[in-house]
Amino acid sequence: MTQSLAIRAGLAAFACTIAALVITGCVTVSYSTSLGKEYKPASDKAVLFGRFQKSGLHNFALVIENTSRTRQYLVQFQSTNDIAAIEVEPDTYEITQFVVADVINEQMGRIALKGWPYDARFIVRSQGAYYLSDFTGVYRNQPLNPQFTAEPNTIYRFSEGYGRFSWLTWQLGPVVDGFDSASAELLKTYPTLQGVLIGRAFPERRLPPKSTSTPNPALTTAGTAGGV
């Protein structure tokens, strides 16, 4: 019994080393509403779109905020690789946080994001559709490792069950460029956007192109907005 308590105490201390990486609480996560099939673009609004694919049963979301933090949108990830699109107000925005919730949308973790494109701002103008990128979110249940090193843009949660100790991790995978196919799918899914100018939210730095012949490795292991 003494040895068991010592192990538990040691693991608890180990868990504290990454406690600052996770913000949790009894918070219900609400997501921005996706565009309906009959969506009609408004003259004073804009559209953000991209692919947001996840593994596992938990709910993933990216938080998009304007620079004055008076507007916030949560784009929910999907189990499929279909595009997702939301309507937003014209403004200057950033992708600021990564959120994970359980199956009833109770928040399990929330972290600030680091690195490009999360440290870049983008301008959204009315009557434009802006491609954010192709994002992947991966869930893993990994054995506890004393040599643990925290990875960026990853939410961690300590788990103990049936005598087994592990880390539950939810991680954003590499961001890739699927602009051409995503734009074509956007117009096919929402024909009313045919007259809208479509471009990349981050034209100043191009992402690695998305492979059309191999699946996204993050999931298998667990431009220019001109004139808008």
pLDDT of residue 104 exceeding 80, the answer is: yes
pLDDT of residue 206 exceeding 70, the answer is: no
228 within a domain of the structure (yes/no): no
79 within a domain of the structure (yes/no): yes
Amino acid at 208: P
227 within a domain of the structure (yes/no): no
143 within a domain of the structure (yes/no): yes
- Give the domain extent around 95: 2-220
118 within a domain of the structure (yes/no): yes
What sign has the CA pseudo-torsion 78, 83, 87, 91? Answer: positive
pLDDT of residue 5 exceeding 90, the answer is: no
225 within a domain of the structure (yes/no): no
pTM: 0.79
pLDDT (0 to 100) of residue 27: 81
Per the document, the length of the chain is 228
226 within a domain of the structure (yes/no): no
pLDDT (0 to 100) of residue 162: 61
pLDDT of residue 169 exceeding 80, the answer is: yes
| Residue 131 burial class via C-beta count within 10 angstroms: exposed 0-12, middle 13-18, buried 19 and up | buried
Q: What's the domain count of the chain?
A: 1
Average pLDDT, the chain: 81
